[in-house]
Amino acid sequence: MGRSSSESTVEVSATTLIAVDTPPKLNETESQLEYLNGLRGIGALQVFLLHAKLGGFFDPIPIFYLLSGRVLCLSYLRHRDSPKILASAILRRTFRILGPVLACSLLNWILYTSHAYDAGPLAVAKFPGWETFVGQAGNGEPPKNVPTLVQALVQPFHLLLGNYHLLTYPRMVDWTLPHEMDGSWLVYSLVFVVTYFPGRKFMVYGVLTGILFLLQRWTVMFVVGLAIAEAADGIQSWRQAPLWSRKFFIKYGVGMVVFGMHVTDAVWGFLYGSTVFKGGIDKGLVSLTPSANGEFLWTASPIPGYTQFQNSGFLMGVLILLLVDSCKPVQWVLSTAPFRFLGEIAFSFYLLHPMGIASIGAAVALVIPEGYYKTVVGQLMWAVPTWVVTALVAWVFSRTIDKWSIHCGKLVEQQLAVEM
């Protein structure tokens, strides 16, 4: 990228000035990106289907992380000459994530102490996968990871330190939250740095993407999402590609690849209970360990706290986001009312659905006739009402807790902005 006709300078110290090219500003607005909320809503729905053992069409977690990188800094990318916007985004992000997580952690404790989860252990014998939610191995052991009130109130603050302990009951979503915060801090830092080196920003994104991918870090998805945001104006131009043009064939070719991967995984999962497009670079701690006879042997052990990175999920997520960003018909579908609703409740639903499954779902499962145990129909009989109730609660949650947390961030920002 060449130098702009106008240069600005930013004071770094009392004696040093850095000449800065004023980067181009993006033309996107939030109202033009409603389809991205629709995509987030589909991701939240897929999480529920996966946890209800009703489908494995794609890995939704990469979608969430890529979308976060895609939208976190939109305001700043449109007004790069205002660092205050970036500072505001960082401050508000903290409250936006921490508030709902804190509320859910407290609700989780209330549900446990009120015995709302008592049906969970009984459902383990009837339907596969319930042990994940009820905190036991399905062999009559007492529930694990049950928080005290103090833990329920304190543990969400570990998010700010990247040291989030798996204390919640039930589980399934807690491991993703520290990655969300780590990725957010990385995006904010990265977009600030490349502001002063705009001609090399895509080189920086590319190098960092390569390094983080080889390290199998989930934060690579935030970097790629940010790079897609930076290139959004160019990607959006593909929407208007003439019929049968090269761009037309490329973008719908990507669509066919994504569709083919989804169909293959769905069919393979139905036939063999696994997926094809999964896998990661082997990651572990390799060390020399003394054996009983005094010899040293090479041994490998997993890195503590590490959750397996999925290469295929990452690739599929990138293809999906590029497809959605470049295809007007897909954007129109994702902007319709049902998908807008799913997008509105996505974060709340994501946090609440394990509690819904372990309480409402388990209670419904206990009254299902024995002939439907461990069948798809039986799964649907408890999953559908569970989804409906959880979605309604998530809608209320999004209109209250979500908005209150956003308002709280704005209020703190206003107080900090008051001149002493």
Return the closest-CA partner of residue 405 out of 99, 90, 177, 103. 99
Average pLDDT for 345-350? 94
Angle between helices 201-214 and 176-195 (to 10 degrees): 150
Average pLDDT for 160-176? 61
Could you give the CA distance from residue 77 to residue 97 in angstroms, rounded to a whole number?
Answer: 22
First-to-last CA distance in the chain?
A: 42
Residues 6 or more apart whose Cβ sits within 8 Å of residue 101? 156, 159, 177, 351
Return the closest-CA partner of residue 32 out of 342, 337, 335. 335
User: Position of tokens 């459902």?
Assistant: 123
Average pLDDT for 355-383? 85
Return the closest-CA partner of residue 188 out of 101, 100, 83, 318. 83
Could you give the CA distance from residue 238 to residue 327 in angstroms, rounded to a whole number?
Answer: 7
Better pLDDT: 395 or 146: 395
Better pLDDT: 385 or 117: 385
| 62: amino acid identity, one letter | P
| Cis-peptide into 60, omega within 30 deg | no
Cβ atoms within 10 Å of 97's Cβ, excluding its own? 19
Per-residue burial over 20-51, b if 16 or more Cβ lie within 10 Å, else e, is bbebeebebeeeebebbbbbbbbbbbbbbbbb
Contact in structure between 9 and 19 (CB atoms under 8 Å)? yes
Average pLDDT for 106-131? 78
Residue 224 pLDDT exceeds 90: yes
Residue 67 pLDDT exceeds 90: yes
Could you give the CA distance from residue 377 to residue 293 in angstroms, rounded to a whole number?
Answer: 56
Work out the pLDDT band at 112, boundaries 50, 70, 90.
Answer: confident
Per-residue pLDDT, 290? 66
Could you give the CA distance from residue 356 to residue 392 in angstroms, rounded to a whole number?
Answer: 11
Contact in structure between 307 and 175 (CB atoms under 8 Å)? yes
The pLDDT > 70 percentage for the chain reads 67
Average pLDDT for 91-102? 88
How does the average pLDDT of the chain come out, rounded? Answer: 76
Better pLDDT: 26 or 388: 388
Residue 152 pLDDT exceeds 60: yes
Return the closest-CA partner of residue 195 out of 33, 67, 19. 19
Alpha-carbon Rg for the chain in angstroms: 23
Could you give the CA distance from residue 198 to residue 239 in angstroms, rounded to a whole number?
Answer: 26
Backbone angles phi, psi at 19, to 5 degrees: -75, 130
Residue 61 pLDDT exceeds 80: yes
User: pLDDT digits over 307-336, tens only?
Assistant: 567 777 788 888 888 888 888 888 899 999
Backbone angles phi, psi at 20, to 5 degrees: -125, 125
User: pLDDT digits over 252-300, tens only?
Assistant: 777 777 667 666 666 665 565 555 555 454 555 555 666 667 666 666 6
Return the closest-CA partner of residue 96 out of 408, 415, 413. 408
User: pLDDT digits over 11-26, tens only?
Assistant: 333 333 333 344 455 5
CA angle centred on 64, ends 173 and 232, rounded to 5°: 170
The pLDDT > 90 percentage for the chain reads 20
Per-residue pLDDT, 205? 92
Per-residue pLDDT, 6? 40
How much is the pTM? 0.80
Could you give the CA distance from residue 155 to residue 149 in angstroms, rounded to a whole number?
Answer: 10
Per-residue pLDDT, 196? 83
Better pLDDT: 203 or 124: 203
Average pLDDT for 99-127? 83
Residues 6 or more apart whose Cβ sits within 8 Å of residue 316? 58, 59, 62, 258, 261, 277
Per-residue pLDDT, 8? 38
Contact in structure between 345 and 339 (CB atoms under 8 Å)? no
Could you give the CA distance from residue 355 to residue 14 in angstroms, rounded to a whole number?
Answer: 54
